[in-house]
Amino acid sequence: MELTGKVAIVTGASSGVGSDTALQLAQRGARVVINYANSKAGAEATLQGVNEAGSEGLVVQADVSDDSQCRALVNAAIEAYGQLDVLVNNAGTTTYVEHKAMDLLTDDIWHDTLNTNLLGPFYMTRAAAPHLVQSGGGEVVMTSSIAAFTTGGSSIAYGASKAGLNSLTQHLARVLGEQNIRVNAVCPGLLDGSWAREGWGDAWETVKATVEERAALGKMASPNDVADAILSLITGSDLVTGQLLTLDAGFSIR
């Protein structure tokens, strides 16, 4: 897809992968709706970057785990720009719970994780689909994780939510393909960003060294690397759909 003049929604765009993706979309000429749940300051910083890239943007607060808020977010994009061409379902959440500590994985953690990481992308895609059709088709990209197909990750609930997201990606690709809507996912490994650093705390440097040692390329990806992958799916071949693109420097190679 050529992005000049297109309109994109990026959920969870106040920092990290979402913010970097919004900036890359703007640099390629897209107008960007910047969603955030809690960090208005972060979303406004992303908007500043979008404007500095010479594009237009709009900041919209919405919790993607709530269907009505997802519909309001999509409606805000349509009211502002009259069209929608790209949806990046990036918003996600996790709670760090050691996998062996199953009694600590409470119902609240399960519900929060699944509602945001799995139901949220479904709600957003369902709300966006009619408008993507009106634009002649479009792109939906999910931010998943290699936790979907490995036994790592921040918790069992997180891994299960991302496995569900991968399945959802392929189901939606099948359902929406006849309407010229392509649905794909990127599956990064652990990222060298603020989310992981804060989550792992004092153990971060040890975890990072372990990941880099195991990775075939001896590196760890950054949020901007994931944004690169998302943009490659959006701007690449229009025949790619239902695909799960692993981005982990070869960490998960058996």
| Torsion sign (Cα): 180, 37, 116, 224 | positive
Q: Which of 170, 190, 227 is nearest to 94 (CA)?
A: 190
Residue 216 parent element (H or E): none
Active site residue 158: yes
CA of 8: how far to CAs of 90, 117, 144, 244, 251, in Å? 12, 20, 19, 21, 31
Please state, in angstroms and rounded to a whole number, the distance separating the CA atoms of residues 138 and 174. 14
What HEC string does 60-125 produce? EECCCCCHHHHHHHHHHHHHHHCCCCEEEECCCCCCCCCCCCHHHCCHHHHHHHHHHHHHHHHHHH
What are the residue ranges of helices labelled H in 143-203? Answer: 156-176, 194-200
Residues forming the active site:
158
